[in-house]
Amino acid sequence: MGTLADSYRKMAIDIQAGPNYSHQHRMGMIKIQITPQMAIWLEDETGKFIDTIYVTEKSAKSSWGNVRRPEALPIWSHKRGVKYADGLYMPDRKNPLPDAVTGATAKSSFVKTWAVPNHIKDGVYLLRVEVNNSFDFNETYKEKLPNNHPNYNGVSGQPSLLWEGKVSIGKAFTTRLKIVGHGHPAGQNGMVFSDLDGIDSAKTIVSAITASGN
């Protein structure tokens, strides 16, 4: 039988879809429905990477055919710190992440429930969620910019946004995460850029993220 302490070592991350969570993109004669790439992970209070909680399947398994997408989730991938044979930090097809932390992108709002592994001690941590929609172009992050342009973005358009908030493992808590910055448009590094000028619809891919421990 579980103890009261065991019940506090579970976390529910409630992702509320915003008005721009999904959009259509035309590729030739075909229209495809785009939903976000997303990573959820834990860091300690010093910023040290602790564990990946969830990553959308395409990012976790590089299932974009032969295309590599370093711009999809650059903050998470660089923080995780695993460099692959081609010099990129996003997982490749030969080295996918395990099914335990992956899943298809939800079509709308969803809740990710996480049982905290035993190796993670009770305490205060930083919960981070990186969100990015492909083909999310605007006047600042335009389509088909030259590779040497500072806003070159592959096929992401607007860069990934980072949401974060503090959580308490081992105690009951409720935390509402906030947007604190964005990733590098082309995924060249894992820096968090606090300036959100030039970013518009990407701010409403997700309308709210709330984490709670029961």
CA–CA separation, 52 and 201 (whole Å) = 27
Q: What would the mean pLDDT of 156-179 be, rounded to a whole number?
A: 96
**pLDDT value at 197 more than 80:** yes
Asked if residue 48 is part of any domain, the answer here is yes
Residue 56: per-residue pLDDT: 96
Asked if residue 199 is part of any domain, the answer here is yes
Which contiguous run of DSSP H or E holds residue 17? Answer: strand 10-17
Residue type, 52: T
The CA–CA distances, whole Å, from 172 to 9, 24, 100, 109, 209 equal 9, 40, 25, 23, 17
Containing structural domain, residue 19? 4-103+116-213
* Residue appearing with tokens 């342009």: 149
Asked if residue 111 is part of any domain, the answer here is no
CA–CA separation, 133 and 157 (whole Å) = 8
pLDDT, the chain, mean: 93
* Residue appearing with tokens 């692959």: 84
The CA–CA distances, whole Å, from 26 to 7, 23, 33, 211 equal 46, 10, 9, 35
Asked if residue 45 is part of any domain, the answer here is yes
Q: Residues of the chain with pLDDT > 70: what percent?
A: 97
Asked if residue 78 is part of any domain, the answer here is yes
Number of domains in the chain: 1
Q: What is the pLDDT of residues 71-98, one digit of tens each?
A: 999 999 999 999 999 999 999 999 999 9
Beta sheet of 161-169, edge-to-edge order: 102-103, 49-56, 37-43, 123-132, 161-169, 178-182
Phi-psi region of 157 (alpha: psi -120 to 50; beta: other; left: phi over 0): left
Q: What is the distance of C-alpha 30 from the center of its chain?
A: 27
Q: Give 1's pLDDT tier (boundaries 50, 70, 90).
A: very low
Asked if residue 108 is part of any domain, the answer here is no
Three-class SS state of 87: coil
Asked if residue 122 is part of any domain, the answer here is yes
Q: What is the pLDDT of residues 99-115, one digit of tens each?
A: 999 988 889 999 999 99
Asked if residue 24 is part of any domain, the answer here is yes
Least confident of 8-12, 76-80, 87-91, 128-132: 8-12
How crowded is residue 117: how many other Cβ atoms within 10 Å of its Cβ?
9
**pLDDT value at 155 more than 60:** yes
